[in-house]
Amino acid sequence: MGKKISSALISVYYKDGLDAIVHELNRLGVIIYSTGGTQTFIEGLGVKVVPVDELTSYPSILGGRVKTLHPKVFGGILGRRDNESDKQEMAQYQIPEIDLVIVDLYPFEETVASGASEQDIIEKIDIGGISLIRAAAKNFKDTIIVASKNEYAPLLQLLQTKNGESDIEDRKLFAAKAFMTSSHYDTHIFNYFNRTFGLEVFKQSEQQAKVLRYGENPHQRGVFFGNLDEVFDILNGKELSYNNLVDVDAAINLVSEFTEPTVSIIKHTNSCGLASRATLAEAYKAAFACDTTSAFGGVIAVNRTIDVATATEMNSLFFEVLSAPAYEPEALEILKSKKNRILLQTKKLMPVSKTFKNLLNGVLVQDADTKAEKRNEFKTVTIKAPTETELSDLEFAIVAVKHLKSNGIALVKNKQLVGSNCGQTSRVDALQNAIKKAHEFGFDLKGAVMASDAFFPFPDCVNISAEAGVTAIAQPGGSIKDQDSINAANAAGQAMVMTGIRHFKH
3-state DSSP call for residue 306? strand
Closest-CA residue to 438 (of 411, 464, 414): 411
Angle between helices 460-468 and 427-440 (to 10 degrees): 10
Instruction: Find out whether 298 and 265 touch, Cβ atoms under 8 Å.
Output: yes
Q: What are phi and psi of 191, to 5 degrees?
A: -65, -30
d(CA 384, CA 395): 18
Q: What are phi and psi of 246, to 5 degrees?
A: -60, -45
Task: Write out the E strands in 285-369.
Answer: 299-302, 321-324, 342-346, 354-359, 362-367
- Residue positions annotated with a catalytic role: 138, 268
d(CA 215, CA 241): 8
Single-letter amino acid code for the residue at 426: S
Instruction: Verify cis geometry, omega within 30 degrees of 0, for the bond prior to 407.
Output: yes
Q: For 97, left (φ over 0), alpha (ψ -120 to 50), or beta? A: beta
d(CA 10, CA 97): 14
d(CA 33, CA 132): 13
Single-letter amino acid code for the residue at 179: F
Cβ neighbors of 313 (< 8 A, separation 6 or more) are: 281, 284, 285, 288
